[in-house]
Amino acid sequence: MAHPIYNKNRQKIRKLPDKAETEAWVEHIFQWLFSIGEDYSDADFFTAREAVLKTELEKILNSVLTDHETKTVVKDFFNALETIHSWLEADLEAVFNFDPAAKSRSEVLVAYPGFFAIAIYRLAHQLWKSKVPVVPRLISEYVHSKTGIDIHPGAKIGERFFIDHGTGIVIGETTVIGNDVKIYQGVTLGALHVSKAKAEEKRHPTIGNKVIIYANATILGGNTEIGNDAIIGGNVWITNSIPKQSLVYHKSEIVIKNKAPFPEPLNFVI
């Protein structure tokens, strides 16, 4: 007689994508997309790898889609890659042009976790738009585990997006981000309330064009809009909309005292 836990599990088991294969595919397609490695100096190798990547993606998607759905999604995905690559080139250029620590585009490509997170988000978002279950979340969670940057594949992010440092960033499912936005480590674009009943509602903020959000800022709520060209300072907590071209900052008091011991008090005895 089977174990009762096994019996309960059997009732709920669904076919799932292989986690290790999905994570390996993420690394391979990133390398292919930017021709990273000496092997990519050969155009034939590039073409051959494309065929392998298509086959690997079909295998992953077959665990959650029908054969017909899989073929359609894979075809649409690879047809979209030229556009996605152009967007990523623009993201990369934005990082290189803005960050004084970036010495070369190649350095950004292989050593910047923020750029890696953006690149894989754009790929996962394409699968999300094709209504692929589970796999986009599996991809985004792999990047989350590697970089500390948690971007939900359902978020909508504009062109020339720049993440600096990145660790601790959270971007929720219904977030909308405009063009030329820059955000720093620890920023949360989240929901005001966590409720299953709100699953189909816009729960996360809208960020306008050319907005800069500094470290550890928290912006919450589906009705919260940050206007174009606004600058959001570090450590602020925002739950209401901010007009365009605003400067928002947290004012804290810093007290500096001398560590030297106090002089002995004068004692008067009357």
**Full pLDDT tens readout for the chain, 270 residues:** 788 888 888 776 677 899 999 999 999 999 999 999 999 999 999 999 999 999 999 999 999 999 999 999 999 999 999 999 999 999 999 999 999 999 999 999 999 999 999 999 999 999 999 999 999 999 999 999 999 999 999 999 999 999 999 999 999 999 999 999 999 999 999 999 877 777 788 999 999 999 999 999 999 999 999 999 999 999 999 999 999 999 999 888 888 888 777 666 666 665
DSSP 8-class letter at 77 = H
This prediction's pTM: 0.90
Cα 235 → chain centroid: 20
Which pLDDT value is given to residue 237?
96
Tokens representing 254 are: 């810093």
Contact 184, 231 (CB under 8 A): no
Q: What is the 3-state secondary structure (H, E, C) of 135-204?
A: HHHHHHHHHHHHHCCEECCCCEECCCCEEECCCCCEECCCCEECCCCEEECCCEEECCCCCHHHCCCCCC
Q: How many CB atoms lie within 10 A of CB 152?
A: 21
